Structure 1
């Protein structure tokens, strides 16, 4: 329905590290120039697993927003907001919960997986079971049709698509739908109306998926259709009713290759991170004391880069020339481990320098950050209210 609206969120559960930067933020920075983007602080989501330590959330929200801004997320290009400041998310979550089969929630792959991973926490809660539905409400409330996710999150997007389909099937039958749809087709002008009807017939009679995609593209180009008419025509295409909630697509993101200080994936739970804005002295010390290939007990012992966590960082930060120098020097014992680590230290500090610099302005002016978020919350609420008006009306709750 909206050819270019992207939604993505992050849970505020501690300071961001370089894994977040390479895995999420660099992608956001790219997307904000290509799509209409909404990026939100998922504070309610953080409560599903941190309900007993709310101070972690409160302390992290503003620092995380500063991290976003310092990394290059631009509030003039994207809408930044806090989930709990847009109560319509909760209302849609509640209304969707009325029609969500329990089995759908229990079969979301991450449900059992997370319970096992976080076995020290009591996650047999209603909130934890329902968090994929809250995630669906986050997406559907903005009629976002592109959601950047890694492979492991694709089932969540599929679940959201099923929820949108179920909702539209139950509530998309408005009185006089066929007549209203026919009237909307005429508004497209005779040439485009004829093309729309041809594509619709090809899809409905021959199951031609290309015709369906072409018809959707045609609708997205129409400037003179109201939101309601456009939704009707999307529904009319597939022989259903009015499409009240849009089905999102997963925008697959490349998995981050950012390794931690021990060679495992960079993660707070492994205690192997470099924070986004960590001071230069600390970064230098952490990298200098990284473990290396166990075979290199003495400076004169040759080693193998593949067995060394530092090599993993060279693959991210070093060009071919330095990688060649490292491989030759390590395997021949021509260079020591501290020499090998120096280019990595310099590259990390160079990457962090503009981030730390940009962060200063926001740290020195907390009101600037709060005002940016207040503006973003207002913009997000305007979009959310629009969806909720339609949802309430079809569910028999439109009392205006």
Structure 2
């Protein structure tokens, strides 16, 4: 049984490309073997910037999930679901909005940045201002403690941690909390209970951070505690009330090393992508027509691989021997650019063969995709309901 829970989502943008595969999906493939993972389609998030074009969302969801499955994401290992099918996300977002200071949202770094980048759209909407809070609700509803993000997304996780602390501070004191916490301590067993109490005393009396971390690790490893008791003991440890919501941590991921065909970041908006299900002849043609070192005007001109977008592909797909061959041949004009590109074509096509084969199965069996998402959404909803039961109770929303 995994003690850590990972949550990650993607906006439905349609068919995915090699940038998505190397930047996100390969990381998900590793994580699904190591943690309890929930991977979701962030369809509500798509509406925060494309509220005026909802027509494409349904097909985009289908196409994106087929690519997840084709890449090897396994619904037997990870829970795959659609955000809008778990209405508890919206309820928690609403309740969190009641206690979130407006200034916190306006300070999120991507708020003004995105408004400038998407200046052709009217983003002066409540939904766009509140989308970081919806992201927080996505994470907190599952008490996910690990969220894989790149450096640019770390501020969103910090924002979520602040929201979590504020919520627990405002609503975390339940009736009879200390009696319930002391009762939960006994469930640890005498030895672990003693260690927990020693660590709690050391932290609360002396501010001993190592003792705090030791006690947290002990609670994370305790197999016989219910989620409620675990959260009570986290709160009791830190001198607060029951931790209704759990603070997540960033799980930093490496930036994708996959460049676009023109050397920029691979992105649909730049028109420089290779899709995971692209026809092999189209892939080969795209790579053959890639720009190369501008210094190589003629076949006899020497070049420098570092000035050539194709070299970035060699760093992803070629071994040391091929790279040495490219470097020697390019700098001496011993090989032409078409020769240089062939190992890249071979490497990309080989990587895409199993992906295309798996995708074909799901394209031929669309009900499979619907069933996987329906089952995953049901599992996700069970977890979300547990959290919302505690949230409603802590906020006094239990009348009747």
TM-score by structure 1 length?
A: 0.98
- Residue number in structure 1 paired with 2:277: 277
Shift in Å, 1:383: 0.3
1:158-217 per-position Cα deviation (integer Å, ceiling 9, x unaligned): 000001100000000112212221122122222221111000011111211111111111
Shift in Å, 1:341: 0.5
- Residue number in structure 2 paired with 1:143: 143
- Residue number in structure 1 paired with 2:31: 31
- Residue number in structure 2 paired with 1:111: 111
SS in 2 for 1:32: helix
CA distance in 1, matches of 2:226, 2:43: 34
Shift in Å, 1:228: 1.7
Instruction: Note if contact 2:3-2:221 (Cα within 8 Å) is conserved in structure 1.
Output: no
Instruction: Note if contact 1:200-1:212 (Cα within 8 Å) is conserved in structure 2.
Output: yes
Shift in Å, 1:151: 0.2
- Residue number in structure 2 paired with 1:289: 289
Instruction: Note if contact 2:203-2:212 (Cα within 8 Å) is conserved in structure 1.
Output: yes
Where does structure 2 lack aligned partners over 5 or more consecutive residues?
none
SS in 2 for 1:79: strand
- Residue number in structure 1 paired with 2:387: 387
- Residue number in structure 2 paired with 1:363: 363
1:128-179 per-position Cα deviation (integer Å, ceiling 9, x unaligned): 0000000000000000000000000000000000011000000001122122
SS in 1 for 2:33: coil
CA distance in 2, matches of 1:57, 1:117: 22
1:340-365 per-position Cα deviation (integer Å, ceiling 9, x unaligned): 01000000000000000111110000
1:226-249 per-position Cα deviation (integer Å, ceiling 9, x unaligned): 222211111000000000000000
CA distance in 2, matches of 1:305, 1:193: 62
- Residue number in structure 1 paired with 2:200: 200
1:101-146 per-position Cα deviation (integer Å, ceiling 9, x unaligned): 0000000001111111111111111100000000000000000000
The runs of at least 4 consecutive aligned structure 1 residues that moved more than 6 Å come to none
Instruction: Note if contact 2:115-2:123 (Cα within 8 Å) is conserved in structure 1.
Output: yes
TM-score by structure 2 length?
A: 0.98
Instruction: Note if contact 2:3-2:220 (Cα within 8 Å) is conserved in structure 1.
Output: yes
Count of residue pairs brought into register by the alignment: 399
CA distance in 1, matches of 2:188, 2:337: 69
CA distance in 2, matches of 1:125, 1:299: 55
- Residue number in structure 1 paired with 2:240: 240
Give the root-mean-square deviation of aligned CA atoms: 1.0
- Residue number in structure 1 paired with 2:156: 156
Q: Which stretch has the larger CA shift, 210-219 or 134-143?
A: 210-219
Where does structure 1 lack aligned partners over 5 or more consecutive residues?
none
- Residue number in structure 2 paired with 1:49: 49
